[in-house]
Chain A
Amino acid sequence: MKKVKQLDIKKIRNDFPILSKKVNGKKLVYLDNSATSQKPKRVINSISDYYSNYNSNVHRAIHSLGERATLKFEEAHEKVARFINASKEEIIFTRNTTESLNILAYSLGKEITSKDNIVITEMEHHSNIVPWQQLCKRTGAELRYILINKEGKLDLRNIPIDNNTKIVSVVHVSNVLGTINPVKEIGKIAHKHKALLIIDGAQSVPHLKIDIRNIDADFMAFSGHKMLGPTGIGVLYGKKEHLKKINPVFFGGGMISSVTQEDAQWTDIPTKFEAGTPNIEGAIALAVAIDYLEELGMDSICNHIKELTSYAMKELSQLKNITIYGPRNRERAALISFNLIGIHPHDVAQLLDKEGIAIRAGHLCAKPLMNTLGTAAVCRASFYFYNTKQEINSLVSSLKKVQEVFK
């Protein structure tokens, strides 16, 4: 087995200006990485570099600045493609995961009829529920759910995919449970029934090494800001053969090959899906973020956060009056949702904030799953490679203090 390089966390933390800030007079302990990650200096600087040195619109400018911006923008497609083992025509820049999924719901939706069904899971984020729910309302198609078992994993014995299933859209890593779903296996079943597999990769692409060819997904959506990039830049991956076939849902500048008063033809992929002036600096900064992740190595990142999550799980489990959600084994993602019995998550988060600790509290945009779990809200601590065991110790000792306040 290849030896995986250990990360120098102290050195890494110096790359992130925000990690040395104080919040409410206390050292920031940032444990809300599933919501958005922090950004290294390099990414922050790349945005100001773009605006200071080569700000220009992409694609059609015949001048040096425009050429430089265009090259950088195209290189960003290439870097994202390489990162997930796709080719650059298969990478469409969007605003975020939500927009990517909505584009699919509209574009693929044109073929959906009332005889069809769409399969999602009980652990989806609202962004992978509501677009399909709306599509089903428009077309009369049926929305089906793969249910979860007591462990917080998908019940793979009862997968409601059949020959009328057209789309199977599954979250790769649950943002509430931390479950890593067997998307490749689900894809095999979907493909056997000639259905398309879509993956919501918002929580998985930042944390796991993704080989999209190997997973054999037809489409995947993810966001730049959860993987060190800025907000407002997201990705829609699609297999070349599909992207060539399906129609764009946004029309206008940049995405046409010719326009007459009566009609228009689309340009090649991926540009036909990127109407209007894109988020140029966002794409460029995302490429810088990917360079950074690749320099550390996704294997090393994965190892560090796995270790950290196991440690956090062990420490949190020792607290009294705590409910922890999701699988307890090592094969889970770097986030832990929990409740302190008798204390509302917002009160927990508020008190932790006084200690400089940032966690998330609420329904985490997964209300149907909250219903299944039998709670209105949860607390979630989520980790990235710059987090440390000391920070988890701070979390645990502050949670004890919260329990004291409410005793």
Chain B
Amino acid sequence: MNDMYQEELLDHYKNPRNQGALKNFDIKFHDTNPLCGDELTITVKVKDNRIQDVKFDSRGCAISVASSSKLSEQLKNKTLQEVIKLDNKFVLDLIAVPISPMRLKCALLSLKALKKGICGYLGQELKE
């Protein structure tokens, strides 16, 4: 029954890392996945153009929560430009389980929201 829901992924779902909201933030962005009703709010503290701290408030399926949890662990000290350049493969490699086409949006919601938030902060258009 279960090749997508490996224990490690489920651990990130049940105990998501960097979960919650920063009180003191420079970037706040809310996004949803209308397909399944996943909701996500990110808050980011920026210092010298680098991510000093980030929190994800994610409510949704195991795939979307686990992917935001895993992504959150990779972000500290990255420059905003570096984050904008992260591609979908980066997140899919982090998740490291086969994601069916219908679930890609769940897996990629956190990266998309993060990039949109940063682009808004920098006053740039997000290149899809």
Q: Which residues of A contact B (CB under 8 A)?
A: 343-347, 350-351, 354-355, 361-363, 370, 376-377, 398, 401-402, 405-406
Contacts and interface: CB of A to CB of B under 8 A. Distances in A.
A401 B1 contact: yes
B108 interface: no
Most B CB contacts (10 A, CB to CB) among A344, A376, A377 go to: A344
Given A344-B61, A350-B100, A406-B10, A377 B1 contact: no
Contacts of B100: 350
Contact of B37 (A350, A377, A406): A377
Interface in B36-79: 36-39, 59-63
A398 B1 contact: yes
A376 B32 CA distance: 11
Nearest to B14: A406
A344 B60 contact: yes
A297 to B, nearest CB: 37
B39 A376 contact: yes
Given A350-B103, A362-B35, A362-B37, A355 B59 contact: no
A355 B1 CA distance: 6
Given A350-B100, A350-B103, A405-B10, A344 B1 contact: no
Nearest to B36: A346
A402 B4 CA distance: 12
Which of B4, B34, B61, B106 is packed against the most chain A CB atoms within 10 Å?
A: B61
Task: Say what secondary structure dominates the interface of chain A.
Answer: helix
Contacts, number: 53
Nearest to A398: B1
Interface of B: 1-5, 10, 34-39, 59-63, 100, 103, 106
B35 to A, nearest CB: 7
A344 B36 contact: yes
Nearest to B32: A376
B106 A354 contact: no
A370 B4 contact: no
Contacts of B34: 363
A351 B62 CA distance: 12
Contact of B2 (A344, A354, A361, A377): A354
Contacts of B3: 354
A362 B36 contact: yes
B125 to A, nearest CB: 29
Given A362-B37, A363-B37, A370-B37, A347 B1 contact: no
B59 A347 contact: no
Contacts of A343: 62
Given A346-B106, A350-B103, A405 B37 contact: no
Instruction: Report which residue of B35, B37, B39, B59 has the largest number of chain A beta carbons within 10 angstroms of its beta carbon.
Output: B37
30 contacts: A343-B62, A344-B38, A344-B62, A346-B61, A346-B63, A346-B103, A346-B106, A347-B61, A347-B62, A350-B4, A350-B100, A350-B103, A351-B5, A354-B2, A355-B1, A361-B36, A362-B35, A363-B36, A376-B36, A376-B38, A376-B60, A377-B36, A377-B37, A401-B1, A405-B1, A405-B2, A405-B5, A405-B10, A406-B5, A406-B62
Nearest to B1: A354
Contacts of B1: 351, 354-355, 398, 401-402, 405
Contacts of B2: 351, 354, 405
A317 B63 CA distance: 27
Given A354-B1, A401-B1, A406-B5, 11 more contacts: A344-B60, A344-B62, A346-B61, A346-B63, A347-B61, A350-B4, A350-B100, A362-B37, A363-B36, A376-B38, A377-B36
Contact of A347 (B5, B35, B39): B5
A355 B37 CA distance: 24
A90 B39 CA distance: 45
A60 B65 CA distance: 59
Contacts of A405: 1-2, 5, 10
A354 B97 CA distance: 15
B41 to A, nearest CB: 14
Contacts of A361: 36
A127 to B, nearest CB: 16
Contact of A376 (B5, B10, B37, B62): B37
A361 B60 CA distance: 12
Contacts of B60: 344, 376
A398 B60 CA distance: 21
Contacts of A355: 1
A370 B32 CA distance: 15
Contacts of A377: 36-37
A62 B61 CA distance: 59
Most buried by A among B1, B35, B38, B106: B1
A347 B10 CA distance: 11
Contacts of A350: 4, 100, 103
Nearest to B39: A376
